[in-house]
A = this chain, B = another copy of it.
Amino acid sequence: MIETERWLELLEEKGGRITGPRKAIVELMVKADHALSPVDVFDQARSKYPKMGLVTVYRTLEILSELGLVERVHQQDGCHMYLRAANGHEHLLICSRCGKAAYFSGDDLSVLIDRISSESGFVIQSHWLQLQGICQKCQPKKFQTPIE
């Protein structure tokens, strides 16, 4: 649970208060290994903090996002899921069926980025590399009709 503490300390350093709803959301996001929508977070967090409001989930995800601890996940069927942010040069590998997340590193895009920068005249600010696939658990079900 050391990671939870770290997130809460960062929140505090930024001038935020540590509250019940925030603790519940942080605990949940720290250990989430599947992308979660605000409503997913809301539902799960209410078991720890039943008075939780959905608005607080939105607000807390925004703060965690500003702190770089959480990131919105981009998927072909929408972009309203959240996940622990990638650290350093990690990139996301995500299951397009169940949202299971894995992180990988090992690419080196710096040469490419330098080249594109000078060819295009753009000042490159960030890059985004993500792999979509089907995780092991979902593979036997690959040919089933997707859940609606």
Residues A148 and B125 in contact, CB atoms below 8 Å apart:
no
Residues of B with C-beta under 8 A to A133: 117, 120, 122-126
Residues A128 and B93 in contact, CB atoms below 8 Å apart:
no
Residues of B with C-beta under 8 A to A145: 117-118, 121-123
Tell me the complex Cα distance, A112–B131, Å.
10
Nearest CB of B to A85, in Å: 12
Count the copies: 2
Q: Is the interface of A mostly helix, strand, loop or mixed?
A: mixed
8 Å CB contacts to B: which residues of A104-148? 104, 106-107, 109, 112-113, 115-136, 139, 142-148
Give the total of A residues in contact with B, Cβ under 8 Å.
45
* Residue in B93, B113, B135 whose beta carbon sits within 8 Å of that of A131 in the complex: B113
Q: Tell me the A residues contacting B by CB distance below 8 Å.
A: 72, 74, 76, 78-79, 93, 95-96, 102, 104, 106-107, 109, 112-113, 115-136, 139, 142-148
The 8 closest A-B pairs by CB, nearest first: A122-B133, A121-B136, A124-B133, A79-B79, A74-B74, A121-B147, A128-B130, A123-B134
